[in-house]
Chains A and B, each alone.
Chain A
Amino acid sequence: MIDRLPQFRLRGLVFLAIVVFSVPLFISNPFHYGLATQIALIAGAVVGLNLLVGFAGQISLGHAGFFGLGAYFSAIMTSTYGWSAIPALVVGAIAVAIVAWVVGRPILRLKGHYLSMATLAVGFIIAIILNNERETTGGPDGMPVPPFDVFGWELSPFGQYSLFGLDISGDLAWYLFAGIVLLVAVWLAQNLIDSPIGRALRSVHGSEVAASVVGVNTAKYKSLVFVISAVYASVMGALYGHFQGFITPSVASFDFSILLITMVVLGGMGSTIGVIIGAVVLELLPQVLADFQEMEMVLFGLILMLTMIFMPKGLLPTAASFLAKRRSKSAGGDA
């Protein structure tokens, strides 16, 4: 694990910051900003999910449930009850944390992939409730969400803002906000990985029995990281709702859960930058494939299958080891 030094992580964060802040140089139309904002928010949820998958070796097949719960909690509190966005987001995250803890704690005491079944069930139950409680959630038709506000100041994709004397459109403002949120999410995740909790988690992933023998309370740490990953999803879901201005139960759907876990695996489990690449690729791919119309599904499935068959470790780790191999080969040639 020598290549996992904090320095290496800092490089990743700086690299990500450069990419995030240089995107506005290349795009200008509102549709592209909308897509980029959406990717940044979803990537944030994926970074949280990666903590669970990549560092605790557990799979969640219901993470969209937590994303959706966060989104709907914020939407209902801000629109129906007139709360401000930040308290709604925080209380929503606490509620999601409690749900995750209640579900995770008894199940993570067991070894094996039981959490995947439990999360699948929880995700579905949340989606079913959102679809059926029409009075509160608007049912399958969805519900409008007020803009994100801080102390009376509103952030809307349709607004006009000025920052340091520069005029900034609402789209760009939202994108920058989402980008900063993503950077903070990554920074927090990397700190967690380097903390004693992260070390304990990695030991659990390496060998759960060995970890428990040296005194790591494996069940506690696994539950903790499950709760943290659920809170990531909840916060990103809440912001996503404010950004879109309208949400439907599809944000909590099984399909979206599968998409989230696929982003983690495709990008490279355990690599924070890798899973963000996974999110970018899987969000952009349908845009590219939309031109193929009815071939879209076949191509998406085929690309997903082939990538995972030939790059089982995911895009970034495979690319990194390929580059390392080439470098060592050329170094060998020089000598």
Chain B
Amino acid sequence: MFSEFLQYLFTGITIGATYALIALGFTLIYNASHVINFAQGEFLMIGGMATVSMTAMGVPMLLAVVLAVILAGLLGIALQRLAIAPAKDANVVTLIIITIGASIFIRGLAQLVWGKGYHVMPNFSSSEPIEIFGAVLNSQSLWVLGVGAVMVVALVYFFTRTLTGKAILATSMNKDAARLVGIRTQVVLMLAFMVSALLGSVAGIVVAPITFTSYNIGIILGLKGFVAAAIGGLGSGMGAVVGGLALGVVEAMAAGYLSSDYKDAVAFSMILLVLFFMPRGLFGAKIVERV
């Protein structure tokens, strides 16, 4: 009974940590540019797929991971420079459609390069599962949680202790004012996309041994990340983390105790409940509009 609950909890927290990283990526780009980046899931896919294919070519695991993350980072920069920046006068809806076009394009490229099949990545360390109070924990889950925690701490450090991080925050709060104090907002936007891509690719790599990976895995994972960000209150970093974990746990519990067919429906109902009763999300800022 308890071991069953613990089992669902482990599953939920693991996948929830992944959702949290994706949600943080959404939040970062949303804060910097008010764009909901529908290509966010593709960064995950690129991270996982590039690592798998490079290790298959004989590149050592660690080097493959670093290269995959760099590749995703470059992709993030390219997305901002080549697709978002040129359309600077476009309204937000148009920018969102551009990111949808970009995600279809990236997915198409991935399909050309890596084919349509599923790719398996071995666990980072031993494939022996760990047993805790009768529940089984995949050793990869510890990697997901550990890497997730490190990323969150690194992000907090980046935004509160470094000049670049503060510049991104300043731009997200008031673009014009940021420009006036000498922040190059275009560079900041580029950085936001890059950091967001790095986050996404890391999430994609650590979760790949659990979920496997394929050219279209970014769609559903990206969407779940968006749901997590919406639950937490779009734009709040804290909200993204809590929203991600909450979504993961609720989903796993719903799959375990209710019905696995309807676990996604439960996840999506959470958005509605939050919007009905806590419209700003769990941690969203109160919006005051100046006229």
Interface residues of A (CB under 8 A from B): 53, 59, 103, 106-107, 110-114, 116-118, 120-122, 124-125, 128-129, 131-132, 209-210, 254, 258, 261-262, 265-266, 269, 294-305, 308-310, 312-313
- The answer to whether A121 touches B112, judged by C-beta atoms less than 8 angstroms apart, is no
Our count of residue pairs bridging A and B at CB distance below 8 angstroms stands at 124
- Give every chain A residue within 8 A of B262 (Cβ-Cβ): 128, 132
For residue A47, give the distance in angstroms from its CB to the closest CB of chain B. Answer: 17
- Give every chain B residue within 8 A of A269 (Cβ-Cβ): 93
Residue of A nearest to B86 (CB): A309
- The answer to whether B93 touches A265, judged by C-beta atoms less than 8 angstroms apart, is yes
- The answer to whether B112 touches A308, judged by C-beta atoms less than 8 angstroms apart, is no
- Give every chain B residue within 8 A of A114 (Cβ-Cβ): 275, 279
Residue of A nearest to B268 (CB): A121
Contacts A114-B279, A308-B97: A121 and B271 contacting too (C-beta < 8 A)? yes
- The answer to whether B112 touches A305, judged by C-beta atoms less than 8 angstroms apart, is no
- The winner among A110, A132, A298, A303 for most chain B CB atoms within 10 A is A298
Partner of A121 from the list B90, B234, B269, B289 (CB cut-off 8 Å) is B269
A310 vs B90: C-alpha distance when bound (angstroms): 9
- The answer to whether A111 touches B289, judged by C-beta atoms less than 8 angstroms apart, is yes
CB-CB contacts below 8 Å: B69-112 with A: 83, 86-87, 89-94, 96-98, 100-109, 111-112
- The answer to whether B90 touches A301, judged by C-beta atoms less than 8 angstroms apart, is no
- The yes or no answer to B272 lying at the interface (CB within 8 A) is yes
- The answer to whether B279 touches A297, judged by C-beta atoms less than 8 angstroms apart, is no
- The answer to whether B89 touches A312, judged by C-beta atoms less than 8 angstroms apart, is yes
- The answer to whether A120 touches B100, judged by C-beta atoms less than 8 angstroms apart, is no
A261 vs B101: C-alpha distance when bound (angstroms): 12
- The answer to whether B112 touches A295, judged by C-beta atoms less than 8 angstroms apart, is yes
- The answer to whether A305 touches B276, judged by C-beta atoms less than 8 angstroms apart, is no
- Give every chain A residue within 8 A of B230 (Cβ-Cβ): 117
For residue A30, give the distance in angstroms from its CB to the closest CB of chain B. Answer: 30
Residue of A nearest to B105 (CB): A301
- Give every chain B residue within 8 A of A305 (Cβ-Cβ): 83, 98, 101-102, 105
- The answer to whether A301 touches B103, judged by C-beta atoms less than 8 angstroms apart, is yes
- Give every chain A residue within 8 A of B107 (Cβ-Cβ): 297, 301
- The answer to whether B269 touches A125, judged by C-beta atoms less than 8 angstroms apart, is yes
Interface residues of B (CB under 8 A from A): 36, 83, 86-87, 89-94, 96-98, 100-109, 111-112, 223, 226-227, 230, 234, 261-262, 264-265, 268-269, 271-272, 275-276, 279, 287, 289, 291
Partner of B101 from the list A116, A128, A308 (CB cut-off 8 Å) is A308
- Give every chain B residue within 8 A of A265 (Cβ-Cβ): 93-94, 97
Contacts A120-B271, A128-B262, A304-B97: A297 and B108 contacting too (C-beta < 8 A)? yes
Residue of A nearest to B104 (CB): A301
A266 vs B261: C-alpha distance when bound (angstroms): 35
A89 vs B101: C-alpha distance when bound (angstroms): 34
- Give every chain A residue within 8 A of B94 (Cβ-Cβ): 265, 308, 312-313
- The answer to whether B271 touches A117, judged by C-beta atoms less than 8 angstroms apart, is yes
- The answer to whether B289 touches A209, judged by C-beta atoms less than 8 angstroms apart, is yes
Residue of B nearest to A58 (CB): B93
- Give every chain B residue within 8 A of A125 (Cβ-Cβ): 265, 268-269
- Give every chain A residue within 8 A of B97 (Cβ-Cβ): 261-262, 265-266, 304, 308
A298 vs B102: C-alpha distance when bound (angstroms): 9
For this complex, 15 residue pairs linking A to B, each with C-beta atoms less than 8 Å apart, are: A106-B275, A106-B276, A111-B289, A116-B36, A120-B223, A121-B227, A122-B268, A128-B261, A129-B265, A209-B289, A298-B105, A300-B104, A304-B98, A304-B101, A312-B87
- The answer to whether B272 touches A121, judged by C-beta atoms less than 8 angstroms apart, is yes
- The answer to whether A254 touches B223, judged by C-beta atoms less than 8 angstroms apart, is yes
A191 vs B162: C-alpha distance when bound (angstroms): 56
A261 vs B38: C-alpha distance when bound (angstroms): 14
A122 vs B223: C-alpha distance when bound (angstroms): 14
- The answer to whether B100 touches A309, judged by C-beta atoms less than 8 angstroms apart, is no
- Give every chain A residue within 8 A of B93 (Cβ-Cβ): 53, 59, 261, 265, 269
Having A308-B94, A313-B94, one finds 14 other A-B pairs with CB under 8 Å, namely A106-B275, A107-B276, A117-B271, A118-B275, A254-B223, A265-B97, A299-B108, A301-B105, A302-B105, A308-B87, A308-B90, A308-B97, A310-B86, A312-B94
- The answer to whether A124 touches B265, judged by C-beta atoms less than 8 angstroms apart, is yes
- Give every chain B residue within 8 A of A297 (Cβ-Cβ): 104-105, 107-108, 111
A262 vs B99: C-alpha distance when bound (angstroms): 11
Contacts A298-B112, A309-B86: A304 and B100 contacting too (C-beta < 8 A)? yes
Q: Which 10 A-B pairs have the closest CB atoms?
A: A301-B105, A297-B108, A301-B104, A312-B90, A304-B101, A298-B108, A305-B101, A121-B268, A121-B271, A128-B265
- Give every chain B residue within 8 A of A308 (Cβ-Cβ): 87, 90, 94, 97-98, 101
A83 vs B277: C-alpha distance when bound (angstroms): 39
Residue of B nearest to A269 (CB): B93
Contacts A117-B230, A209-B289: A132 and B89 contacting too (C-beta < 8 A)? no
Residue of A nearest to B88 (CB): A312
For residue A324, give the distance in angstroms from its CB to the closest CB of chain B. Answer: 18
